[in-house]
Structure 1
Amino acid sequence: MARKTKAPAVPTARVTSEIRDVMAEIAATVISDYFFDPEREEDYRATLAHAKAAGKAPFQLDIDPDSADIDAGACYLTLLGLKDLGSFRLCILGPDFEIASDGVWSFDTGEFSPAKVAIAEGTARALLSGLDQLADTLLMAESLDELAALKDMFEEEGDDDLLPQSQGAPAEQAVLARIAKRIAATRDPMLTLEERELLDASPHLLPVTLETFIEEAAKPGMSSDAPLLIAWACIFFAQLELLRFRLEGGYHWAGKLLREAQERILTAAEQAEVPAESWMLLIKSLTDARVPISASMQERLAEAGGMLNGDTLSSEDLLGSVREMLDTLASMSESPFDIVDSVQGNSAITPPNVRCFVATELMGSENAMLADAVPLLLFDLDASVRRHVALTLDQATKARALSATSLRRLIGLRNWLPPRERAAIDSTIRTARIGGMEPDAWPRTPDKVEVLASLVDGAAGQSVILIDRSERKMTIAGVLIRHGVGVVDAWIQPGLSRRESSELLEVVRQDIGAKRVGTSFGDRIVQHALAVGLRDEMVPPASLLRVAEAFGISTWQDRHIDLAAEVETEFGQLPPKDRTTAGLAALHARALQAMDRIAIFASWFEAGTDIEKRYAKMPAKQAVTELLKRELQEKRRDWAERFLFTALRCKASQDPLECDVAAPLFAVARALTGDEPLSGIPAMQRIAKATVEALPHGKLPY
């Protein structure tokens, strides 16, 4: 291969300390990974002895990976063994730089001591930028492999007493630091798929992140809006959310980690370890991640937060501080949604009675924006708060204090509330209409709207992405649903430049596999999710209304999709030949092929503490048989729904390859809505095997 023309050489004596440090970090990563297998040390010693005897030192070691991609192109790595035991030279040939560094590896301590930079060619900027990216790539890849193994160990039994006591190995802590550094530098809080996988595989690192945040926040001059502190808060939020998913999936130890994190946050306030503004970032993370918080813990956190602010927390002082907070919010917010985000962002330390008082104060405010925030408080997760808000709105309507915008929002969100709470809203709307009030017009639908949707993942999650291309600055929004649960999140990013929108859409397409679909599909699954959530009286987040207004969607209601009827309708539309016995067998075979080919299906399996306890030590074939008879049979309807909505998404896709998968998945969904034994459905056999594969020591012999 012809080598590129080299940039001017950088004198090695003038290589910056940053370049030396990053190069040493890369060398340590490469060498520690190479000697991870103990047998390699014996091979190395034997090769060194032979090379010295033959006078052939230095000699090359076979490392993997020996190349990695950075933004400018490929980097090629070579590790050379020098003549002295433990002495190595790492050579890196990049697209616009070349560097080689010597150092000594200690087999006793597992540490690398850099000695000198032997070669450095290229500009200092190219060297530092290239090495920094390379370090991120190598360290992340190494940690994902290690943490995948750690995950199996961590979940071996799933009991609380098996929680690791370690606070994280140095390599793991370094990975967290690099994620934080990346977020702080780019101001992009969205984690990459690799970063999320890493955090998901290492739940024991939650206290590491929390302690690091507290240490950073306590540093002199560290403000609550410092990029690095915000970055650690983003990581903490992601870990909390992932642990909440584990808890909902049946992993009881996740609850213990979450409770311990809350106790540590409480202690940080009681002992005044961090400034109040920084502590509130932790509280916002707890709230945004929807972590379960007991009433007693909520009261303790509220009291500790008051102490941290120097409040006595008498009723009069507390209410006075709320009024002061609302005045501040009014001056800082651009819309009622911003007001509600701030109020609900602190709900982890705001008891329901205080949130009721906030609603009353907002409605009585002379500031129109504050008053218009009140209807949005109907999305509070506490039913008692929602009832108080409804009463407050009714009283305001009788006093003719309700705005046309608030009336329009009440009409729009009425069907997003539990059925037994709608009568109060209907009464308010009726009173307003009798009094001659008219709602303002619903925002118009943008001219150029695209809708993307993901397949259903292993946690029954599915995303709908909306894109407004009508203006030069784009708006992108997302709705996250969980089948069987409801609408769990909604977000919107308006005013994106071409570059910002391209970067965000690349993440959406690559990380969650979203593909373009018709508008009707997105509408249907959002409305179905609304109905599913309201079945358990779970209201959607207020941000869903913000998304609906931005895209002029006034038609989202609670419209449940009947599983059996939908399956029969779709099955009836298949060609007659596919509905024969032979045709169905062919469809089931194609479904199995699709599940082997499409990556998302690798996440389709059962998990949880009970599954692990029952099956981890059972022979694999027996475990598969029992799963088909017990857990999978009990969740037969859930799996039928998952296959149905994945099939509907494939049918709606504009990708011909995905459209071709719809019919086979409809066939599986129909079999699941019937009474056919699961052992006779190939797709369910695959899921049972995948469940066993995911268990500790659960590798199948076939």
Structure 2
Amino acid sequence: MKPYHQIFPDAQAPSITLELAQKSGRIPRGRYAFVECYCTRPGCDCRRVTLLVLNEKMRHQALICLGFDGEGPFCGPYLDGSSYQVPYASELLDFCVHTLNSRPDWVLRMYQQYRDVRELVDGRPYRGRDFPQPGDLFYRALPSPDLEAMLKESVRHGSGLPCPHTPCDEGDDRYGMVRLVELYARAGASAPASLLVALQDELHRHLLADPLAVEELVSLLPALSSNARVDDDRVAAALRILCLTLDFYQVEVEGGGPGARQQMQRLQSALALRIFREKCAAELRFAVADILAQCRVKLIPELQLICDGGAGEGVNRFDLFNSAEEFIPGVLRHFASVGLSSPFAGAREILELVSVSDPEMRPGLTWELMNADSTLLREIAALLLFNADPEQSRETARMLVSVDGASLTPNTLRRLIVARNWFPEPTRSIVDQTINNARKARVQCAHLDRPDEETVYASCLDGSGTQYFHILVPDGAAHAGCTLMLQQGYGVSDCSLVRLETRRDRDDFIAAARSQRCCLESTGDYLDLRVCQALAEGTERGRVPGHWLVRVAELLGRDHWKGRPLDAGQELSRLREGIAENSPALLLVDEHLRSLEESGEWHRYRALFGSWKEEGRVVESVIDELRASKGGLGGAAVVERLCDQVLEQKRPLLLDRLILATLWLKSAKEAPIPWQRMYHVAQAVADPSIALKEIPLAVSMARESFKSYHKRSKDGRQHGGDSA
């Protein structure tokens, strides 16, 4: 990394400086310059800058790392853990973060400087993808990535933070696909994004240089799986390379790359021969069949038959039985082959199975599971209640209430009690009867423990009312990373879990959460509030959340999640009481007016409010109608009409969204806007005597809606001109 003024000695680019007339916090008075440094390695496109902080005596104070794309564990800004930092470096970092958010011109200048450096070093104009707009990212100080990983990378690169390059050893005598498998296995799935990109680039170069590489890869798969001591990391790495290779050739085929179609044919023919016809290990065949079933490439007929389960030698992972009598043994064999012991993972497998099986067989298969000798299968059967299809959920409930209550396990009883309020009627009443049957049979309810710790991150609500939660919670000897997606008017839209075995896994999970747009550390109370509101919305629509939400509730020890609709008036009263108790001056009229005025500028926080606008036919019809009128298409007239005819119709929805955003800000530990400001805007929207066109935030939303319409119209005209 070299300072920009050393790369371009004649450049007059100013530096961002911090000048303190007196001591501020721990920072001594003086002048501190933030010097931008860039990578000068030929061919590197790391898309990052290192900020060297120097005092007025040109002494090193701090080294701050920043990636331009805002993604991954190395996105920053953070203090370089492998470099010297003064004791008050964290406060210098805070100033840097504040300046990045308030000075978009600085960010744009660094983008241009990066382009200048790449053009000088590589000898051609920079052709990388577009940088994100400064307002699309909300910067926060992030913790330094794992120090050991940073040191390894910095030794290889010779700087504080690595640029993408291949982490190969100079003395490694392996070559070709064997070497690539080794590198991917060594990197692991949680490697930094820059490292994975570099490996992928090397894979692409190898595929282009060696036409026989695909056959070498396919030959490696059975060899790795048939060893006496199977190396799971290398098998996983080889399978990952197979996915990437299929994607690579598909892109080449679509782009008309020379020989790409023949290479795709060669790869698929090799898979058909070496993996399926020669009857490799069943687990490997299942894994390859999964990859083929999920990839977007056009398969040769033989592989298509295998994925469809239509060939005699088909190995579709759901082709486990030839009749209902063989169903239970087939499922148990499959679970044993993949080492599956969790009823939640098993329920996912069974739900996928019934989704592709004959609908007439589903009730019989479910009944077989409920009456199986295996405790695991009976617990899986109960989790099939959590089906997004209300009819199938109700059908499963009717079967479950018909089985012997004593066959329910203590874990199943606890899960039914925890989730009984998540079901709409009449399914809820059937679930209650099932619980009574188990209690009459003296089934003991399993205990539900509350974890000693939990970390919650919550994103802001986007323009559609969607919000994400990322939760880190202990799970036995490891941790679990839980992700929830809540959607306004829909409920719990999605839920997923990932097991985090190591501290690095946990750090990567948190870093990935924090790198998302305005995803801030929050509280368990706010999580509970939002989940209960989402459950109420889902129940109203007759939707049942997926079974993974049950697992999240178990891990968090939540036995009180039940649908509680958002009461706008009640929440506003509580918020007002909180302000009156702690900061009564913030309820003065001047504060109310100041909050409304500031709300007109909130759209400059694009990560928070960039999607708060209206689109679609309603907006188009209003604007087209105004265009046809005698008054013409004046901007002020359009904004007023959109406020009156579009936003006013959605006023209750806007009020709910503002209240939810206020609660989010109130719970956040690093709120970009004081929650009291948002409260005042919500209070104004709740007052029907105030027209939305008198509220600056609503006017700003209408203006952004008009801009979006204008941009779509312009793009449409350009596209039409190109087509002509």
TM-score, normalisation: structure 1: 0.59
Who is 2:170 aligned against?
none
Query: Which of 337, 340, 364 pairs up with 2:344?
Result: 337
Q: What is the percentage of aligned positions where both structures have the same residue?
A: 20
Listed as ranges, the matches of 1:242-261 within 5 Å are: none
Q: CA–CA distance in 2 between the matches of 1:503 and 1:665?
A: 32
Query: Which of 667, 670, 675 pairs up with 1:662?
Result: 675
Q: Kindly tell me: are residues 392 and 508 of structure 1, through their superposed partners in 2, closer, same or farther at Cα, counting changes over 3 Å?
A: same
Q: Does residue 349 of structure 1 match 2:356? A: yes
Q: CA–CA distance in 1 between the matches of 2:364 and 2:390?
A: 15
Who is 2:438 aligned against?
432
Who is 1:381 aligned against?
388
Q: CA–CA distance in 1 between the matches of 2:477 and 2:523?
A: 23
SS of the residue corresponding to residue 487 of structure 1 reads: strand
Q: CA–CA distance in 2 between the matches of 1:535 and 1:217?
A: 55
Who is 2:373 aligned against?
366
Once the two structures are TM-superposed, the CA of residue 631 in structure 1 deviates from its matched residue by 2.7
Query: Which of 149, 174, 189 pairs up with 1:187?
Result: 189
Who is 2:114 aligned against?
67
Who is 1:451 aligned against?
456
Once the two structures are superposed, residues 522-571 of structure 1 have per-residue CA deviations (whole angstroms, 9 ceiling, x without a partner) of: 11111111111111011111111111111222111112221232223323
SS of the residue corresponding to residue 521 of structure 1 reads: helix
Q: CA–CA distance in 2 between the matches of 1:375 and 1:581?
A: 56
For the 8 Å contact 2:184–2:237, the answer to whether it is kept is no
Q: CA–CA distance in 2 between the matches of 1:607 and 1:191?
A: 34
For the 8 Å contact 2:463–2:609, the answer to whether it is kept is yes
Who is 1:264 aligned against?
none
Q: CA–CA distance in 2 between the matches of 1:314 and 1:679?
A: 61
Who is 1:592 aligned against?
600
Q: Does residue 644 of structure 1 match 2:644? A: no
Q: Kindly tell me: are residues 310 and 680 of structure 1, through their superposed partners in 2, closer, same or farther at Cα, counting changes over 3 Å?
A: farther
Listed as ranges, the matches of 1:398-413 within 5 Å are: 398=405, 400-413=406-419
Query: Which of 607, 618, 626 pairs up with 2:641?
Result: 626
Which segment drifts farther, 463-472 or 631-640? 463-472
Q: Kindly tell me: are residues 513 and 25 of structure 1, through their superposed partners in 2, closer, same or farther at Cα, counting changes over 3 Å?
A: closer
SS of the residue corresponding to residue 603 of structure 1 reads: coil
Q: Which amino acid aligns with 2:349?
A: S
Once the two structures are TM-superposed, the CA of residue 339 in structure 1 deviates from its matched residue by 0.5
Query: Which of 697, 700, 706 pairs up with 1:692?
Result: 706
Who is 1:513 aligned against?
518
Q: CA–CA distance in 1 between the matches of 2:622 and 2:295?
A: 34
Listed as ranges, the matches of 1:491-530 within 5 Å are: 491-530=496-535
Once the two structures are TM-superposed, the CA of residue 641 in structure 1 deviates from its matched residue by 1.3
Q: CA–CA distance in 1 between the matches of 2:641 and 2:453?
A: 51
For the 8 Å contact 1:480–1:487, the answer to whether it is kept is yes
For the 8 Å contact 1:276–1:308, the answer to whether it is kept is no
For the 8 Å contact 2:42–2:121, the answer to whether it is kept is no
Who is 2:563 aligned against?
558
SS of the residue corresponding to residue 404 of structure 2 reads: helix
SS of the residue corresponding to residue 472 of structure 2 reads: strand
For the 8 Å contact 2:523–2:667, the answer to whether it is kept is yes
Q: Kindly tell me: are residues 396 and 472 of structure 1, through their superposed partners in 2, closer, same or farther at Cα, counting changes over 3 Å?
A: closer
Q: CA–CA distance in 1 between the matches of 2:216 and 2:392?
A: 35
Q: CA–CA distance in 2 between the matches of 1:285 and 1:478?
A: 24
For the 8 Å contact 1:472–1:497, the answer to whether it is kept is no
Q: Which amino acid aligns with 2:642?
A: L
Q: Which amino acid aligns with 1:683?
A: L
Once the two structures are TM-superposed, the CA of residue 508 in structure 1 deviates from its matched residue by 0.6
Q: CA–CA distance in 2 between the matches of 1:585 and 1:459?
A: 27
Q: Kindly tell me: are residues 80 and 516 of structure 1, through their superposed partners in 2, closer, same or farther at Cα, counting changes over 3 Å?
A: closer
Q: Does residue 549 of structure 1 match 2:563? A: no
Once the two structures are TM-superposed, the CA of residue 510 in structure 1 deviates from its matched residue by 1.7
Listed as ranges, the matches of 1:37-52 within 5 Å are: none
Q: Does residue 392 of structure 1 match 2:399? A: yes
Q: Which amino acid aligns with 1:667?
A: H
Q: Kindly tell me: are residues 80 and 277 of structure 1, through their superposed partners in 2, closer, same or farther at Cα, counting changes over 3 Å?
A: closer
Once the two structures are TM-superposed, the CA of residue 134 in structure 1 deviates from its matched residue by 7.6
Q: CA–CA distance in 2 between the matches of 1:417 and 1:346?
A: 23
Q: Which amino acid aligns with 1:645?
A: L
Q: CA–CA distance in 2 between the matches of 1:455 and 1:190?
A: 26
Q: CA–CA distance in 2 between the matches of 1:328 and 1:134?
A: 43
Q: CA–CA distance in 1 between the matches of 2:692 and 2:184?
A: 46
For the 8 Å contact 2:618–2:646, the answer to whether it is kept is no
Q: Which amino acid aligns with 1:133?
A: P
Q: CA–CA distance in 1 between the matches of 2:320 and 2:526?
A: 50
Once the two structures are superposed, residues 644-679 of structure 1 have per-residue CA deviations (whole angstroms, 9 ceiling, x without a partner) of: 111001111223x54x62122122222223322211
Q: CA–CA distance in 2 between the matches of 1:434 and 1:336?
A: 24
For the 8 Å contact 1:372–1:406, the answer to whether it is kept is yes
Once the two structures are TM-superposed, the CA of residue 23 in structure 1 deviates from its matched residue by 6.2
Query: Which of 684, 689, 692 pairs up with 1:671?
Result: 684
Who is 2:614 aligned against?
606
Q: Which amino acid aligns with 2:438?
A: A
Who is 1:115 aligned against?
none
Q: CA–CA distance in 1 between the matches of 2:537 and 2:291?
A: 32
Who is 1:307 aligned against?
310
Number of residues paired by the alignment?
Answer: 494
Q: CA–CA distance in 2 between the matches of 1:695 and 1:460?
A: 21
Q: Which amino acid aligns with 2:394?
A: R
Q: Does residue 133 of structure 1 match 2:141? A: no
Q: CA–CA distance in 2 between the matches of 1:517 and 1:63?
A: 32
For the 8 Å contact 1:363–1:374, the answer to whether it is kept is yes
TM-score, normalisation: structure 2: 0.57
User: How big is the alpha-carbon RMSD for the aligned residues of Structure 1 and Structure 2?
Assistant: 5.0
For the 8 Å contact 2:45–2:164, the answer to whether it is kept is no
Q: CA–CA distance in 2 between the matches of 1:484 and 1:551?
A: 25
What runs of 5+ residues in structure 2 fail to find an aligned partner?
5-40, 47-108, 127-153, 167-182, 198-212, 223-234, 248-267, 277-284, 297-303, 628-632, 715-724
Once the two structures are TM-superposed, the CA of residue 593 in structure 1 deviates from its matched residue by 4.1
For the 8 Å contact 2:601–2:700, the answer to whether it is kept is no
Q: Which amino acid aligns with 2:380?
A: A
Q: CA–CA distance in 2 between the matches of 1:285 and 1:322?
A: 28
Q: Kindly tell me: are residues 606 and 578 of structure 1, through their superposed partners in 2, closer, same or farther at Cα, counting changes over 3 Å?
A: same
Once the two structures are TM-superposed, the CA of residue 682 in structure 1 deviates from its matched residue by 0.7
Q: CA–CA distance in 1 between the matches of 2:219 and 2:601?
A: 58
Q: CA–CA distance in 2 between the matches of 1:234 and 1:542?
A: 31
Listed as ranges, the matches of 1:153-172 within 5 Å are: none
Q: Kindly tell me: are residues 465 and 667 of structure 1, through their superposed partners in 2, closer, same or farther at Cα, counting changes over 3 Å?
A: same
For the 8 Å contact 1:284–1:345, the answer to whether it is kept is no
Once the two structures are superposed, residues 68-125 of structure 1 have per-residue CA deviations (whole angstroms, 9 ceiling, x without a partner) of: 8xxxxxx9434389xxxxxx5799xxxxxxxxxxxxxxxxxxxxxxxxxxxxxxx997
Q: CA–CA distance in 2 between the matches of 1:236 and 1:630?
A: 50
For the 8 Å contact 2:482–2:497, the answer to whether it is kept is yes
Q: CA–CA distance in 2 between the matches of 1:488 and 1:559?
A: 17
Which segment drifts farther, 511-520 or 314-323? 314-323
Q: Which amino acid aligns with 1:639?
A: L
Q: Which amino acid aligns with 1:626?
A: R
Q: Which amino acid aligns with 2:434?
A: T
Who is 1:154 aligned against?
none
Q: CA–CA distance in 2 between the matches of 1:564 and 1:427?
A: 36
Q: CA–CA distance in 2 between the matches of 1:608 and 1:285?
A: 32
Q: CA–CA distance in 1 between the matches of 2:241 and 2:700?
A: 40
Once the two structures are TM-superposed, the CA of residue 66 in structure 1 deviates from its matched residue by 4.6
Q: Which amino acid aligns with 1:663?
A: Q
For the 8 Å contact 2:190–2:505, the answer to whether it is kept is no
Q: Which amino acid aligns with 2:437?
A: T
Who is 2:225 aligned against?
none
SS of the residue corresponding to residue 322 of structure 2 reads: helix
Q: CA–CA distance in 1 between the matches of 2:245 and 2:621?
A: 30
Once the two structures are TM-superposed, the CA of residue 356 in structure 1 deviates from its matched residue by 2.8
